[in-house]
Structure 1
Amino acid sequence: MALPVRDQMKYWGTAAAVFLALLWLMGDVILPFVLSMAVAYMLDPVADRLELWGLSRIAATIVITLVAAVLFVLTALLVIPTLVKQATDLVNTAPDLINNLQSFLTAKFPVLLDESSQLRQTLAQIGETIQSKGGELLSGALASAMSLVNVVMLLVLVPVITFYLLMDWDRMVAQVDKLLPRDHAPVIRRLASDIDRTLASFIRGQGTVCLILGTFYAAGLMLVGLKFGLVAGAVAGALTFIPYVGAIVGGLLSIGLALFQFWGEWQWIAAVVAIFAVGQFVEGNILTPNLVGSSVGLHPVWLIFALSAFGTLFGFVGMLVAVPVAAALGVVARFAVDQYRDSRLYRGLEANAPDDVDDTDDDI
């Protein structure tokens, strides 16, 4: 005999509370494990495909690890130094950009930007704030990233943990399946399948879209000679997972930089605009339909709320788990709505009506 619903809610509620408490108390400790689980989840289909090609699971894991190591080394040597340098230069150049904007506005609207005008003072304050706060933020982030603990975590712990998780991923899933409550196992499996499909579409598909578009934007902007093209392309690609936000933020940043750098050379400014126009066309008509699908089940507003809420409550670890938790809650919410619409609470007396209605009733 199954436990009463009240007792089940009590046990599952306690388990959820313990999980959230551990996430809050042990955020820094479990960070490498959360990162490793995310990477292993993304790479599991690749390992499954290599197994279909005849490799064993451990051989497939070794191949993936070697390829990932080569790509990481190439990225670390070729991309990261340039990205950091351009980001630092962009922060330091911000006051000059603001001054150029002041000069332009002064030439066009001299009445609005005299020495005592509020707008001129505001622009000057914005430039100083970007330089001071942006420099502090960037230096703090670099100092944190270069600390010994973080280096060990990123370069040693995460790859090692990911290797073992990827090698035993299917076995772990099977073990979790054996521990499911027997009465609810079919429903949990169905919900887990829906959650996996949503995450696969969003994380794997949208992650691939972000990588492709970020590379395209960065390469295109650097080819046209934009000074901070790599930074602008990286920002646009990283924010692409929120629909339209990546293109808007990256596009405005790139076009703004192009206006200052190429003022008067309209063909280069048009080239920057064309890069983002082509990127949006390719994303909307080729990448997203084929890699993400037409229905992911994660509304942008719900996603932004989850990232903000979990980031505020649990820090960086919370932001990492926000997407899977949001996907899970979305699937559970849709399941609950379906159950409600099939219940007597929603259908009322209709739920007691016979399925087959006498045709003579329609004739009366």
Structure 2
Amino acid sequence: MTLQKQVGFWIGGLLVLVLTLYVLRGMLLPFVAGLALAYFLNPLVTHLGRVGLPRVIGTMLVIGTFIVIFILLTILIIPLLGNQLTAFVARLPGYVVQLQALATDRNREWLQAVFGERLPDVSRSVSELVTQSIGWIGGFLQGLWSGGAAFISLFSLFVVTPVVAFYLLRDWPRLMNKIDSWLPLRQRETILELMREIDVALAAFVRGQASVCLALMIFYSVALTGAGLNFGLLIGLSTGALSFVPYVGSLTGMILAVGVAIVQFWPNWTMVFIVLGIFVIGQFFEAYVLYPNLVGESVGLHPVWLLFALFAFAALFGFVGLLLAVPMAAAIGVLTRFAIRKYLASPLYTGVPRAEVAASTRD
């Protein structure tokens, strides 16, 4: 088979895969979620196998523990978060108006010097802007949900996902060996090397960053709640969860927390600086302790590229796209770096034919 036919075959296969994912995106959520869960938990099951526990028993133990923890979190935390989220969304326009009033009242003299005696009434426009933003965010989330779970119920998601994860975890080594046996013989070593690079990048980011997010969720929620901040649990957990994209979570959480603190504790600036100090400590803890030890610097996923991938795949595939964004971004990054290495070693870049390069190497 010529190179052109090989390239055409793989491009055609990729297009068929993308088209299949797009057509079936409404029913793929529990299966993609099960695959992601199996990939995340596979090292733990493998470790249990190394200490002598049969893989089936280890899989049952790990999946059972995950289900118990998930049920406990659903019963204990989800209702509380739901109440806080509802109250926070209802009070957010008022918070923004109060912040705007504090800013204009204390700086009325220089604002009048700039705008004249009649200051622009921005409180109404700001409130309307926040209300519209909340409506847009709600519509965006609703679109994600409808795009990802239009043909399945919430009950089926909770039932199918652990079942899929169990069977994938149980048969993981056999599945990987079977996939390896399907690879083209001449390119097998190159493909396996690329797959190892993708796995290293993906494992380092997904498992490492998930551990970082969990630690930050615990730290921020406990610290902000202990400081007496309104909606401290909601803001803390959201900050840690959004930290999956580096810098996005901490910046978003800090803006929300400091804004709520100013409205809540005004004019007590001490409490505002305490809230700000919590985020300074959290950033130091994340940058110098958690990230170097749990994620590392060789992941190869730039925050801007990751953010773009999340939005792009969410727009294409809904909620399923959010689950596919990180592995696809890691795979595309590895393949792009491989293509660049090939280009830099090719005559297209060097301007020297391969035969001349080989001859000079022998000389």
Alpha-carbon spacing, 1:323–1:142, altered in 2? closer, same or farther (3 Å): closer
Q: Match of 1:310?
A: 313
128 and 226 in structure 1: CA distance in 2 versus 1, 3 angstrom threshold:
same
Gaps of 5+ in 1: 358-364
Deviation digits for residues 3-55 of structure 1 (CA, Å, limit 9, x no counterpart)? 10111111111111110101110001111111100110000000001111110
Q: Contact between 2:261 and 2:272, CA under 8 Å: does it hold in 1?
A: yes
Q: Where in structure 1 do 4 or more consecutive aligned residues deviate above 6 Å?
A: 112-116, 134-148
Q: Does 1:328 align with 2:338?
A: no
Alpha-carbon separation, structure 1, partners of 2:256 and 2:210: 22
Cα separation, partners in 2 of 1:140 and 1:89, compared to 1, 3 Å: farther
Mark the runs of 5 or more structure 2 residues left unpaired by the alignment. Answer: none
Q: Which residue of 1 aligns with 2:44?
A: 46
TM-score (norm 1): 0.89
Query: Could you tell me whether the CA contact under 8 Å between 1:343 and 1:351 is conserved in 2?
Result: no
Offset at 1:103? 3.2
Partner of 2:284: 281
Tell me the matched-pair count.
355
2:273 to 270, 274, 284: 270
Superposed counterparts of 1:192-207, under 5 Å: 192-207=195-210
- Secondary structure of residue in 1 paired with 2:361: coil
- Structure 1 residue 218: Cα displacement: 1.0
Quote how far apart the aligned CAs of 1:356 are: 7.1
Structure 2 CA distance, aligned partners of 1:293 and 1:183?
Answer: 33
Following superposition, the deviation at residue 130 of structure 1 comes to 5.3
Q: Is the 8 A contact 1:95 1:128 kept in 2?
A: yes
The amino acid that maps onto 2:162 is P
Rounded Cα–Cα distance in structure 1 between residues aligned with 2:88 and 2:198: 40
% identical equivalent positions: 39
The change in CA–CA distance for 1:113 and 1:244 in structure 2 (over 3 A counts) is farther
Structure-2 change in CA distance of 1:192 and 1:132 (3 Å): closer
1:305 deviation in Å? Answer: 1.8
SS in 2 for 1:27: coil
SS at match of 2:351: helix
2-structure distance, mates of 1:221, 1:333: 42
Which residue does the alignment assign to 2:68?
70
Structure 1 counterpart of 2:360, from 346, 354, 362: 354
Contact kept, 8 Å, 1:92 with 1:135, in 2: the verdict is no
1:335-350 matched pairs, under 5 angstroms: 335-349=338-352
Counterpart CA distance in 1 for 2:340 and 2:265 is 54
For 1:141 and 1:113, locate their aligned partners in 2 and report how far apart those are by CA, in whole Å.
46
CA distance in 2, matches of 1:138, 1:318: 13
- The alpha-carbon deviation at position 145 of structure 1 amounts to 11
Matched letter for residue 291 of structure 2: T
Instruction: Give the equivalent residue in structure 2 for 1:362.
Output: none
Task: Tell me the equivalent position of 2:216.
Answer: 213
1:1-364 alignment runs, 5 A limit = 3-110=1-108, 111=112, 117-129=120-132, 149-349=152-352, 351=357, 354-355=360-361
